Amino acid sequence: MRLATRDNGRPDGELLVVSEDGSRAAPVPRWPNVLAALTDWSAAERDLSEVANQVTLGFGTPVDQTRLRAPLPRTWQWLDGSAFQAHADLMQVAFGTEKIEHDKPLMYQGMSDRFYGPSDTVPFPDEAHGIDFEGEFGVVVDAVPMGTSATEAMSHIKLLVQINDWSLRTLAVPEMKTGFGWIQAKPACSMAPFAVTPGELGDGWREGRVCLDLVVEWNGRPFGRANGREMAHGFHELVAHAAATRDLVAGTVIGSGTVANADYAEVGSSCISERRAIEIIAEGKPTTHFMRFGDRCRMEALTADGRAIFGAIEQEVVAASKAT
């Protein structure tokens, strides 16, 4: 099942159940938005599945994925991990920081009151902040009680999403050094148009990992094609980590961190900082600039048979004063 959110003038938008090919969709009046559905998922799932069957049979109206909002335009909690070792290793080089000694998953809490839609322009105040994209996968859970184990956590993963975790790199290092995590360096993220139930991925969802290639393009040029399978901790382990001392509210989104692979020389990267780190290793200094206003970034995850199952994020970066 694939869900999307259409603008209806309300903060949470209107939930749509989307056809397998992403061309048609139908609302479900009893479940006005995705966040509401997640608060009572077992009831919602039955109703949404029924509409999904109808949409498969030709019910629904045409949908333009470039006009959709984020499947969750806002939610109560966004916890982002950093589960790819290749990313962690390269960021250490990029940031000039020391190796993080920690036997648990890395995770910070970020801004969740706004997720940009897949085609929204994204405003930033200053190019000098080192504007970078970060291609990620994420999971959305229903209510997870404090103390839930990783094994139990698996069944709380109701939806998978694809995220661009926008980052401001020159602000990131000093904030990280405080130990407090990131405020200025991590503004709102973007989401691809479709949130999908794990079953939709078939073999692409294994051991709590989204085992799909994340195809990243920067200004129309290929930038990376890393696969989500190399997470050091699966999403179920990230959920359990987050729930160790708190109940997780329904609608919590937990991110993988930037998708990266050990053979980055082959597959490329999902953020500019990694490419700069690779340049530092090879040439002693970075030569790739961060983004400029007017730059575009496109991200889509492909199934084995080449379907962009989450749809595409395709956005332009603009000066904050020019944002609409």
Residues that bind its own copies (CB under 8 A): 74, 76-77, 79, 82, 97, 100-102, 104, 106-114, 123-125, 129, 146-147, 168, 171, 174, 176-185, 187-188, 241-242, 244-247, 249, 252, 320
CB of residue 222 to its own copies, shortest distance in Å: 29
| Residue 76 or 293 with smaller CB distance to its own copies | 76
Amino acid identity, position 36: A
CB of residue 61 to its own copies, shortest distance in Å: 31
| Residue 50 or 247 with smaller CB distance to its own copies | 247
Strand 221-227's sheet: what is its strand order? 122-124, 313-319, 296-302, 213-218, 221-227
Distance CA 115, CA 107 (A): 19
| Residue 112 or 227 with smaller CB distance to its own copies | 112
Distance CA 141, CA 152 (A): 12
CB of residue 308 to its own copies, shortest distance in Å: 29
- Mark residue 280 as left, alpha or beta (left: phi above 0; alpha: psi -120 to 50; beta: remaining): alpha
| Residue 246 or 296 with smaller CB distance to its own copies | 246
Closest to 34 in 3D by CA, of 195, 191, 153 = 195
CB of residue 11 to its own copies, shortest distance in Å: 9
| Residue 104 or 285 with smaller CB distance to its own copies | 104
Distance CA 75, CA 111 (A): 9
CB of residue 123 to its own copies, shortest distance in Å: 7
CB of residue 112 to its own copies, shortest distance in Å: 7
Contact partners, residue 165, CB within 8 Å, separation at least 6: 80, 110, 133, 134, 136, 186, 189, 255, 258
Closest to 214 in 3D by CA, of 255, 157, 251, 185 = 255
Closest to 215 in 3D by CA, of 290, 294, 297 = 297
Closest to 228 in 3D by CA, of 209, 253, 203, 200 = 209
Closest to 231 in 3D by CA, of 139, 111, 132, 110 = 139
Distance CA 236, CA 129 (A): 34
| Residue 46 or 104 with smaller CB distance to its own copies | 104
Amino acid identity, position 206: R
| Residue 109 or 155 with smaller CB distance to its own copies | 109
| Residue 101 or 283 with smaller CB distance to its own copies | 101
Closest to 76 in 3D by CA, of 30, 44, 45, 109 = 109
CB of residue 252 to its own copies, shortest distance in Å: 8
CB of residue 147 to its own copies, shortest distance in Å: 6
